Amino acid sequence: MTIASTTTEAGGAKPPATVRVWDPFVRVFHWSVAALFLVAYASGEGIAWLHLAAGYALAGLVALRAAWGFVGPRHARFFDFVHGPRAVRAYLADMLRLNARRHIGHNPAGGAMVVALLAMLSAIALTGHLMTTDALWGAKWIETLHKSLVHATFGLIALHVVGVLFASIEHGENLIRAMIDGRKRAP
């Protein structure tokens, strides 16, 4: 007797069908970026070699993710989730009315957040690298810009987490688990 048949015989419902959405690269990228960003932040004022290593690793991951956005599976590709500002505003308005359409991949707001975070991480990596060059070594303005971008990124991360939690509640699915196991409830 299998567990599924035991559940059915005991009067339980079958679990909902799921579909694979997030491929292993996207999932590993997501959690690696989260970890490396925290490592880079925590080491920024005292452990220069670790800060630089985490920053360059982040830059490499962002470059790989950008490439994957063109050649990866359907839901990893930019054409699947990048929408114009009008679609993003309409989705956010529907979300606030608790009437947003469920998406298997990223919704328009989530897609905009992906683009914003990739852009911010790129800008942070660029300004961090520029701080190591002869031309800008010790330039206060580039350090200030670098730190400002990091703080703005923390704001985006907070919005990202709130959006994930809100969409999880609104659509009755665990989006955090989906970014771990790669599966979401079938449409």
pLDDT the model gives residue 6: 40
pLDDT the model gives residue 12: 64
pLDDT the model gives residue 8: 47
CA 92 to chain centre: 18
23-185 belongs to CATH 3.30.700: no
Hey, where are the domains in the chain? 23-185
Q: How many CB atoms lie within 10 A of CB 136?
A: 14
pLDDT the model gives residue 15: 72
Cα 51 to Cα 150: distance, rounded to the nearest angstrom:
13
pLDDT the model gives residue 11: 56
Residues of the chain with pLDDT under 50: 1-9
pLDDT the model gives residue 127: 98
pTM listed for this prediction: 0.88
pLDDT the model gives residue 187: 87
- Residue 18: helix, strand or coil by DSSP? strand
- Residues 71, 77, 79, 85, CA torsion sign: negative
pLDDT the model gives residue 1: 41
